Amino acid sequence: MKKSRLGLFKSTSMLISVLGVIMIIATVAAVAYVGFSVVSSSLTGGISSGTQYDQLAELKSNYTALEVQFNDTGNKIYAMDNITLEREYVNAQVELVRAQNDLSDVESALSMGKPAPEVDKRLQQTRDDLKIAHEAYNSLSVK
């Protein structure tokens, strides 16, 4: 009887040891997977935001060029003392201000670390408003 208890104790302790090792390995694997996922998503987010910063820089450049054109044209229009042209110019300039606000909106989204889809949506809105401002500039009678 003593031998059977000793055998039962040996097999039980061996089973507990093997299960313990398996649980430790499973825990390490789960922690490694979660760590890899976190690192991978942060790297992917960094790459995406890098592209978004490039797009923002391009949009700022386009905005600056359009703003210079607006300023030059505005000086000409105000020198002509034509109220109708001045009103057209002010209406077109409102579109330029909208584009400027959109640029600020994109900058704040990037600095706050907003998700990539949200920043992409704001970038598209900026592109659209810059296009509208450019069309408004082109529709001015005097350039």
In a domain, 20, yes or no: yes
- H helices of the chain, in order, are 2-80, 83-111, 116-138
In a domain, 143, yes or no: no
In a domain, 47, yes or no: yes
Length of the chain: 143
In this predicted model, what pLDDT tens digit does every residue of 49-87 receive, in sequence order?
778 899 999 999 999 999 999 999 988 888 888 888 889
**Residue 2's pLDDT band (boundaries 50, 70, 90)?**
low
Tell the residue number behind the tokens 């299960």, with chain if given: 19
Kindly report whether the global pTM for this prediction surpasses the value 0.75: no
Tally of structural domains, the chain: 1
Angle between helices 116-138 and 83-111 (to 10 degrees): 170
What local confidence, expressed as pLDDT, does residue 104 receive? 94
In a domain, 72, yes or no: yes
- Full residue range of the structural domain in which residue 40 is found: 2-138
Please state, as a whole number, how many other Cβ atoms lie within 10 Å of the Cβ of residue 89.
22
Residue 48, both tokens: 């995406």
Distances (CA, A) of 16 to 4, 9, 13, 19, 57: 18, 11, 5, 5, 61
In a domain, 77, yes or no: yes
Question: Do 42 and 116 contact (CB within 8 A), yes or no?
Answer: no
Residue 21, both tokens: 């090792």
In this predicted model, what pLDDT tens digit does every residue of 11-54 receive, in sequence order?
888 889 999 999 999 999 999 889 888 777 665 555 557 788 99
